[in-house]
A and B are shown apart, each in its own frame.
Chain A
């Protein structure tokens, strides 16, 4: 990949740095996974072993899945994150296209507004949103979980930056071929921007799958709980010290994310190699 030749010392050092990072980041996950396999006695044993000495996984996972409707929470998570991502893309792509490729009065002001919105943390608007949803009566519904995130300023910004790199000739060619502006967005820009779209998808899905803050505010009924709320619910519902089932639940919750990421990662690399936009 890189054409720079490094000295052996530098190469060892590089690997050392990377490995330290890997251990630091992967460590908690490994502990989580291993703890989910241990029986209760072993978890509380004074001496820490990474690998379980005796198998307690079956019981932990069964407890996690039966004590609370975890699968139902997973389904909720899937519905909410998919709806958010879909609506985000629906808004992002035309907005980013207009900001990157159309000439109109006030475009720069609009883009500046987008940038300013990037600076607003969503905790800051949580309260006004809560009041708005309360007065419109949609609190405690799927809509209340999805709607606040449909317009992703970050997504608009990311896609706009990517669209800037798409040659104008390509868009003009599409116009000469008879495509409408919407057709250009979905038929030319979207496939061209696949790598950026997938990168954004990873950000969006991870953020909203793991989100605990907003669902906690917006939702009260158990039927609408998202996966992180499910884990918290399990903690309250159980003895609170049942770390085995808790870790099992956490493992179950992140598994779809890991799988989705692995699939997307392959498509991501594919996407990069297939964009032959230059020359």
Chain B
């Protein structure tokens, strides 16, 4: 019943800027979101990503630029006139209402007149249809048993589901989600990640999802828009963002552990700075295996072994490089390395990313 076949909810953000007094929070944001797409806005805290979402929602007004949904300009429209729904980090459930009443609020606000709401006199047919909608959404999120409870009696994960249900019940064109998972514990977060991604496929609506957690961005989205310091750095699929970043800042923000950064000269390259992912560095024990081609190996000392079970990360201190380089190794092979060992890190030149002094990518 809730499954939409025809995709709607194309969002166009054009030259958007937001200033609070002298502080520029957002600057020249252009973003085109296809109907039905799952786009994540990723950035460190304070980068303006939540402000962007709030402007799309109509909770904040833009200083310059425009937002349109399905071609219609949104300027001056109240949040409820935009046909969007929003899920908040703190869930924002009405504490004095039961779960069922919470979910019904958006429908009651739309389908009943103020007088009917005040006197509690809803026409039987409307009341029935609201009840049915609430039931069907609750069934979809498997929270039927929670309907008579109050928010205070729910766990974090349950509150999150209720907040999702309240957003879904009005069948909006666009779902706006502001860090919806960051108040959940790690295990539940992984679970809800999968669930939200699945929900997106089921509903076919546009999802605009704000997070500072790059894992969430990488695992759930069709495309990721990275914002830093109020400016859009890059918009690309998670895969491209990881393999082919436009700036050093993006390369460093995406991926755990962090990408290794060196001066270009260390690898005999012209670029001011170069970066290599940990899985592209191969560690060899000095003296055991013959060092690879000259100029492509970096010599250092093993200072820390980080064993995650499936992966082993070797932290290698290299003279003249501020942060220890990290190389991924097979845990089985890594057994042979001990703290203090001297290692050579072999670099495949095809996987080295070059950047100019300003951090802009230099593509061959």
The yes or no verdict on A and B being binding partners is: yes
Binding site for B on A (CB under 8 A): 167, 169-170, 172-179, 183, 188, 191-192, 194, 273-277, 279
Contacts of B79 in A (CB 8 A): 172, 175-176, 178
Nearest Cβ on chain A to B58's Cβ, whole angstroms: 8
- A-side binding surface: helix, strand, loop or mixed? helix
B59 and A277 form a contact (CB under 8 A): no
Contacts of A274 in B (CB 8 A): 95-96, 150, 152
Contacts of B151 in A (CB 8 A): 276
A178 and B88 form a contact (CB under 8 A): no
Q: How many A-B residue pairs have CB under 8 A?
A: 74
Interface centre among A178, A191, A275, by most B CB within 10 Å?
A: A178
B92 and A169 form a contact (CB under 8 A): yes
Which B residues from 79 to 102 make CB contacts under 8 A with A? 79-80, 84-86, 88-96
Question: A177-B105, A178-B110, A188-B94 in contact; A172/B86 too (CB < 8 A)?
Answer: yes
Contact with A along B51-81 (1 / 0, CB 8 A): 0001001010000000000000000001110
Partner of B88, one of A169, A194, A277: A169
4 closest pairs, A vs B, by CB? Answer: A276-B152, A178-B80, A173-B92, A178-B109
B331 at interface by CB-CB < 8 Å: no
Q: Once bound together, how far apart are the Cα atoms of A183 and B94, in whole Å?
A: 13
Q: Once bound together, how far apart are the Cα atoms of A177 and B94, in whole Å?
A: 11
Which B residues from 141 to 192 make CB contacts under 8 A with A? 150-153, 156, 159, 166, 183
Partner of A191, one of B54, B92, B96: B96
Question: A172-B59, A178-B80 in contact; A275/B95 too (CB < 8 A)?
Answer: yes
Binding site for A on B (CB under 8 A): 54, 57, 59, 78-80, 84-86, 88-96, 105-106, 109-110, 114, 150-153, 156, 159, 166, 183
Nearest Cβ on chain A to B85's Cβ, whole angstroms: 7
B150 and A276 form a contact (CB under 8 A): yes
Contacts of A276 in B (CB 8 A): 95, 150-153
Contacts of B95 in A (CB 8 A): 191-192, 274-277
Q: Once bound together, how far apart are the Cα atoms of A192 and B94, in whole Å?
A: 8
Q: Once bound together, how far apart are the Cα atoms of A170 and B93, in whole Å?
A: 7
Return 17 A-B CB contacts under 8 Å, by A number: A172-B86, A172-B92, A173-B88, A173-B93, A175-B79, A176-B57, A176-B79, A178-B78, A178-B110, A179-B109, A192-B95, A274-B95, A275-B95, A275-B152, A276-B95, A276-B150, A277-B95
B88 and A172 form a contact (CB under 8 A): yes
Question: A177-B105, A274-B152 in contact; A192/B96 too (CB < 8 A)?
Answer: yes
